[in-house]
Structure 1
């Protein structure tokens, strides 16, 4: 998988279409969750794109402190279902953590993690903080990496 980091203005129309298609495929269709994915926050995000054979297979978006949470954050973590056996979730998250350090000069990262993925995020150094809550009908937990 080849990973690149782009600002919103650096995304090509093909990149943007692939990002929105992948996010919709997973967060709306696969998870059967009707919500507004296109939330106006993409303009301020750095987009971490993972390509395999020129096809987008993994993605996250990252924010500097104050643009989403008080801390730097990573969100919209997604891997195409047919590619999950390759552990691209770890690759895209490791690239995202590195991008937070390199592009934002931050080491503390806050995420809103789907509860069923806690072990995945624990393996990346994130720790739970606070109580479980529902976001779009899905159990989540706040997690931090310092």
Structure 2
């Protein structure tokens, strides 16, 4: 089935896309990773939503939003398909979307520690000690867009 990458502000999303995004986030974070948290945190309203659709289903997703220090933060990074390369495609093409849509050269994220090597492939560097968030070990990572290949 054909997949395509999409980047939209909240107001550009269709109701079906919002539903599919929230369903994918619940599937990964609540069901698969057993994280009990309030997912709808109002950040979505001001975020750029970057995702890969397979038919109508969202199979890979992240959101990006501007922080007060002029960094762009990406979060809620997920794939519902594992081992197909969808995560790498999402990050590669999604970072280009973020670079185009935001007027900054700095990006950060909180990475689950098991994913550090994955993010390092895209130029991210660990900039913190490990910390516990929602019962899962994380680190803060940053990169400059000027380092994008």
Runs of 4+ deviating beyond 3 Å = none
Aligned-partner SS, 2:82: helix
RMSD (Å) for aligned C-alpha atoms? 1.2
Which residues of structure 1 form unaligned runs of 5+?
Answer: none
Cα distance in 2 for partners of 1:72, 1:100 equals 8
Task: Check whether the contact 1:126–1:145 (CA below 8 A) recurs between aligned residues.
Answer: yes
Aligned-partner SS, 2:129: strand
- Residues 108-135 of structure 1: CA deviation (Å, up to 9, x unaligned): 1110111110010011110100210011
Which residues of structure 2 form unaligned runs of 5+?
Answer: 145-149
- Residues 8-57 of structure 1: CA deviation (Å, up to 9, x unaligned): 00111100000000000000110011111111110010000201233211
1:52 to 47, 50, 54: 54
Cα distance in 1 for partners of 2:29, 2:56 equals 22
Task: Check whether the contact 2:71–2:105 (CA below 8 A) recurs between aligned residues.
Answer: no
Cα distance in 2 for partners of 1:49, 1:110 equals 18
